[in-house]
Structure 1
Amino acid sequence: MIRTNSGTIRAAVSAMALAIGFAASAGAQEQLTVRLDFSPWGVHAGMHLAQHMGWFEEAGLNVEVQDGRGSGNTLQLVNAGRVDVGQVQLGLLGAAREEGAKVTSFAGFQRKTDLCILVDKDSEVAQIADLKGKSLVVFAASPWAAYINDFLAAGGLDEGDAEVLFVDPAALWGTYTAGRADGLMSTIGSAIPVAEASRPSKCLMLDLADLYFPSYGLIASEDTIADRGADLAKLVAVQQRAWAEIKENPQAGVEAILAMRPDAKLNPDVLRAQIQLTVDYFDTPATEGHPIGWQAEADWAQALAGMEKIGLIASGWTATDYFTNDLVE
């Protein structure tokens, strides 16, 4: 569990916010590396908008935004000290800390469970039990992998009632869009907009099984949070500014991603839909009315109860082992 002096950090954050006011920094800029989860998609809009508009520099930060190779890989790099900050699916912290990782979430932006199973939009599949006899495609390192059996069991299905196909991540979409699987395990924000062009889909959400998974936010090692809390607080403040703008004007996020990743050949309509779904999944009842990035102990406790139930973590962990709000104003 991370140990910090909350009063000291909060005082420092408040003083910092008053001092910078998003005005140009007169001193040297602090270097930060931020590793994203995958290649560019809508959930990255906050980072790209801040970089495109020069808001990091205004806050006294020189931020290198790197594309990633999966949330799990990014988490490993953060834990190893090879990057300062990761933007990942926060629910992965459960197993990671169980295995000894010293990584903590210091801001959670997309706080509602977004893991889902895509099926044809006009399919009669409407509940978990309807997946009987269906084939479902997923990749082995997906957050979904640990939840599959318990999700199906919540619908009264035994192992084998649905066929689960594990494929390489590169083959995931091709398997689904070619019709070689009835369902695709992914996240609603990333998947639904991409599927629209080739196989319009709807979603069965993980929480149908009373299982919950905190989604995208920022992580750092415990040492980095302790040693560089003021820099991380600036990063959070800039991201709050960026996402507040995007909530009002999603097109700003689209244009920023296209500008910062011009060679990625991205579809602006897909990006716009991904951004909107990201924003739609920002809040849970427990986070309503709180600042962007603030995490609720109740949400984490609910997620951890499910992780214990499926055997992903042992008993004894508490919600505050996984997150801190000390850097969120």
Structure 2
Amino acid sequence: MRHTLRAIVAVLAMAALAAGSGAAVAADKLTVRLDFSPWGVQAAMHLAQNKGWFKEAGLDVDIQDGRGSGNTIQLVNAGQADVGQVQVGLVGSARAKGATIRSIATFQRRTDLCVLVDKDSAVSKAADLRGKTVVVFAASPWTPFIDVYLKSAGLTRDDLKIDVVDPAALWGTYLAKRADGLMSTVGSALPIAEQSRPSKCLLASDANIAFPAYGLVAREDTIANKGAALRKLIQVEQRAWQHLRTNPDDGVKAMIAERPDARLDPAVLLGQIKLTLDYFDTPASKGKPIGWQAQEDWEAALKSMEAAGVVNPGWKAADYYTNALIE
């Protein structure tokens, strides 16, 4: 009987030890909300998930498709997601409305806002849009910068038609040639247009508009409470983007595998991934780790936002981003 009791005690002790060890190595859970339905800028996130790199780093990451960067930011600020992968320039308007989020990494650091026009069009600069029709959707990151962009070319809204449509009607309007131009982003738009209406881009940056493109945002309390997990997330993203620099096709395969029902076009995805990578670096961030953010870039962006009435004077760039989680 004693031997039996000893055996039972030993088994229970081993079970408790195993349970304790399991708890010690339990994966950190993070919910990541993406900006939209699947497209190339999300390749690193899907590649890391597909390759098991998050799990390898001790992370349990729930990757959710989004309904626009603005909506994702709202959900992150409301605590319904830990991290948002969005157009980080929108942090400016979000904080102006009381949000407590910051950019924790910006991968695509160069401004990619653009106006698409026909590739063979004589339109080559903003001033050439006089008398044209340009389509945009109401919640577009372009919206607050439209007047600033037109002013740079000596135009006002009286000089052309700005057609504001529902997001679902944006591409249909442009591809059906009911508009001469479409306000969007380089990486998302050019590969889509290539098949049905080959286009070129008029860059917002040519009008001295600065707007950080895509990266990761989180609430300040999440940064404080889940900093270790967020640091791992960024490190895995850095690994994935570095891999994609020389193996973009792997991103295409991973996205199709992770979203098999999304009817993704491999050619469009590949074009989007390559263009995303083309817009990774600014002069101030070149040579720095992937995701690292330059104060000069944020100051330029906030000056553009102030000119557009998005933020009030007196801002401090350090309130909008942090490099504390980047190595």
Range of TM-score over shorter length: over 0.9
> Which residue of structure 2 aligns with residue 41 of structure 1?
39
- TM superposition shift of 1:254: 0.6
Aligned pair partner of 2:174 in 173, 176, 198? 176
Aligned pair partner of 2:50 in 49, 52, 57? 52
- TM superposition shift of 1:159: 2.3
> Which residue of structure 1 aligns with residue 211 of structure 2?
213
Taking the aligned partners of 1:158 and 1:37, their CA distance within structure 2 comes to 31
Aligned pair partner of 1:300 in 289, 298, 301? 298
Aligned pair partner of 2:67 in 63, 66, 69? 69
State percent identity of aligned pairs: 63
Give the TM-score normalised by structure 1. Answer: 0.92
The AA in structure 1 aligned to 2:206 is L
1:328 is aligned to 2:291: no
> Which residue of structure 2 aligns with residue 166 of structure 1?
164
> Which residue of structure 2 aligns with residue 283 of structure 1?
281
The AA in structure 1 aligned to 2:150 is L
Taking the aligned partners of 2:314 and 2:92, their CA distance within structure 1 comes to 12
> Which residue of structure 2 aligns with residue 202 of structure 1?
200
> Which residue of structure 2 aligns with residue 116 of structure 1?
114
Taking the aligned partners of 1:273 and 1:213, their CA distance within structure 2 comes to 22
Tell me the SS of whatever aligns to 1:143: coil
> Which residue of structure 2 aligns with residue 266 of structure 1?
264
- TM superposition shift of 1:318: 1.4
1:32 is aligned to 2:30: yes
Greater CA drift, 149-158 or 78-87:
149-158
1:157 is aligned to 2:191: no
Taking the aligned partners of 1:150 and 1:215, their CA distance within structure 2 comes to 18
Give the TM-score normalised by structure 2. Answer: 0.92
Structure 1: runs of 5 or more not aligned: 1-24
Taking the aligned partners of 2:151 and 2:129, their CA distance within structure 1 comes to 11
Tell me the SS of whatever aligns to 2:177: coil
1:130 is aligned to 2:128: yes
Tell me the SS of whatever aligns to 2:159: coil
Taking the aligned partners of 1:100 and 1:260, their CA distance within structure 2 comes to 35
Taking the aligned partners of 2:286 and 2:226, their CA distance within structure 1 comes to 28
Taking the aligned partners of 2:308 and 2:216, their CA distance within structure 1 comes to 25
> Which residue of structure 1 aligns with residue 84 of structure 2?
86
The AA in structure 2 aligned to 1:152 is L
- TM superposition shift of 1:154: 0.3
- TM superposition shift of 1:37: 0.4
Structure 2: runs of 5 or more not aligned: 1-22
> Which residue of structure 2 aligns with residue 144 of structure 1?
142
> Which residue of structure 1 aligns with residue 15 of structure 2?
none
> Which residue of structure 2 aligns with residue 229 of structure 1?
227
> Which residue of structure 1 aligns with residue 13 of structure 2?
none
CA RMSD, Structure 1 to Structure 2 (Å): 0.9
Taking the aligned partners of 2:160 and 2:294, their CA distance within structure 1 comes to 35
- TM superposition shift of 1:311: 1.2
Query: How many residues were matched structurally?
Result: 305
Aligned pair partner of 1:100 in 88, 98, 101? 98
Taking the aligned partners of 2:86 and 2:175, their CA distance within structure 1 comes to 26
Taking the aligned partners of 1:206 and 1:267, their CA distance within structure 2 comes to 27
The AA in structure 1 aligned to 2:96 is E
Tell me the SS of whatever aligns to 1:136: strand
- TM superposition shift of 1:309: 1.2
Taking the aligned partners of 1:265 and 1:143, their CA distance within structure 2 comes to 26
Tell me the SS of whatever aligns to 1:293: coil
Taking the aligned partners of 2:276 and 2:114, their CA distance within structure 1 comes to 14
- TM superposition shift of 1:158: 2.0
> Which residue of structure 2 aligns with residue 19 of structure 1?
none
Tell me the SS of whatever aligns to 2:115: strand
- TM superposition shift of 1:209: 1.1
Taking the aligned partners of 2:156 and 2:32, their CA distance within structure 1 comes to 42
The AA in structure 2 aligned to 1:48 is H
Taking the aligned partners of 1:285 and 1:140, their CA distance within structure 2 comes to 31
Taking the aligned partners of 2:82 and 2:306, their CA distance within structure 1 comes to 29
- TM superposition shift of 1:140: 0.2
CA 1:242–1:26 in structure 2 vs 1: closer, same or farther (change >3 Å)?
farther
- TM superposition shift of 1:26: 7.5
Taking the aligned partners of 1:159 and 1:242, their CA distance within structure 2 comes to 43
Taking the aligned partners of 2:321 and 2:221, their CA distance within structure 1 comes to 14
